[in-house]
Amino acid sequence: MDSTAAIGIDLGTTYSCVAVWKNDRIEIVPNDQGNRTTPSCVAYTPTDRLIGDAAKNQQAMNPTNTIFG
**Complete DSSP assignment for 28-49:** EPP-TTS-SSEE-EEEE-SS-E
CATH number for the segment(s) 6-68: 3.30.420.40
| DSSP helix, strand, coil percent of the chain (3-state; round to 5) | 10, 45, 45
Whether the pTM exceeds 0.75: the reply is yes
Is pLDDT above 80 for 16?
yes
Residues 30-62 have pLDDT tens digits of: 999 999 999 999 999 999 999 999 999 999 999
